[in-house]
Amino acid sequence: MNSIAKITIPVEKIYQAINDPQVLHAQSVIVKYHEQPVDSADQYNEMAYAIKIVNDVIKYIEAARKQVTQPLDLYKKEVIRLEQFTCEPMADFITKAKARMVQYHNEQERIKAEAEAKIKAEAAAALTQSQSVSDIMGAFTDKLFATSVETNKTANIRTTIKAKIVGEVDWIRVLSVQFAAGKLNPDELIKNLAASMKHMGVDHIAGIELTEVKSQSIR
């Protein structure tokens, strides 16, 4: 992509479309039919015709808008591609570098845990052999100090816990926990349930009511 690019945006197209006589006609149709009842076959057909007039004008304006925005959309895609080409290697470096840092952090944690376990074991053994508290402290003060000095500190490490499936899952328990924690919304969970039930041949699920919702499909 050139470092200097000129884009021609035909902004006048959208203004021409908005001021087109058919837009005015559609607006007059809306005024006429916006509270028109549908109590007969003739009124039904009239309303269908009115909807088609208005919908055609919406499509006309949308087409004009696309003439204006398409050059921008194409240029935007090229800019995003250039950004990705430049930034993806950087993001990859960060991901791999962070992984090595976490690996180092985990190794330090392992070393610290082993050192502390060793000291605890030696302290437990000394308890059975020492005659006083001063004997124990004298024997292990240097070791404790050495352990704290030799274990390097690592910053900016965030520990998170993630769940993964490793066997047969108690889904009832999973759902109850998620609902209780507010992580699941019942309405979102059953959003496509009716279609799924039809697909699987399931007619009834306790606590679920299926209702028909009709809408006009004129386009």
| Structural domain contains residue 213 | no
DSSP label at residue 100: H
Cβ(17)–Cβ(67) below 8 Å? no
Residue after which a domain boundary falls, among 57, 92, 108 = 108
| Structural domain contains residue 135 | no
| Claim to verify: residue 103 and residue 186 sit in the same structural domain | no
20-29, 32-41, 120-129, 157-166: least confidently modelled range: 120-129
| Structural domain contains residue 44 | yes
Residue after which a domain boundary falls, among 79, 108, 137 = 108
59-73, 135-149, 151-165, 197-211: least confidently modelled range: 135-149
| Claim to verify: residue 96 and residue 178 sit in the same structural domain | no
Residue 181's pLDDT is: 84
49-58, 62-71, 136-145, 146-155: least confidently modelled range: 136-145
pLDDT tens track for 17-57: 999 999 999 999 999 999 999 999 999 999 999 999 999 99
| Structural domain contains residue 123 | no
| Structural domain contains residue 58 | yes
What whole-number percentage of the chain has pLDDT above 70?
Answer: 80
Tell me the pLDDT band of 146, cut-offs 50, 70 and 90: very low
Average pLDDT over residues 142-164: 61
Residue after which a domain boundary falls, among 66, 92, 108 = 108
Tell me the residue length of the chain.
219
- Exposed e or buried b per residue across 147-179, where buried means at least 16 C-beta atoms within 10 angstroms of its C-beta: beeeeeeeeeeeeeeeeeeeeeeeeeeeeeeee
pTM score, whole prediction: 0.50
193, pLDDT greater than 90: no
| Claim to verify: residue 19 and residue 93 sit in the same structural domain | yes
| Claim to verify: residue 21 and residue 100 sit in the same structural domain | yes
Calpha distance 210→205 (Å, rounded): 10
| Claim to verify: residue 104 and residue 18 sit in the same structural domain | yes
| Claim to verify: residue 99 and residue 21 sit in the same structural domain | yes
Give the number of domains in the chain: 2
Q: Residue 57: count other Cβ atoms within 10 Å of its Cβ.
A: 20
- Exposed e or buried b per residue across 61-100, where buried means at least 16 C-beta atoms within 10 angstroms of its C-beta: beebeebbeeeeeeeeeeeeeeeeeeeeeeeeeeeeeeee
Domain extent for 179: 171-200
pLDDT tens track for 60-108: 999 999 999 988 888 888 889 999 999 999 999 999 998 898 888 888 8
52-56, 70-74, 112-116, 118-122: least confidently modelled range: 118-122
149, pLDDT greater than 80: no
116, pLDDT greater than 60: yes
| Structural domain contains residue 162 | no
| Claim to verify: residue 103 and residue 190 sit in the same structural domain | no
Tell me the pLDDT band of 163, cut-offs 50, 70 and 90: confident
| Structural domain contains residue 3 | no
Tell me the pLDDT band of 208, cut-offs 50, 70 and 90: confident
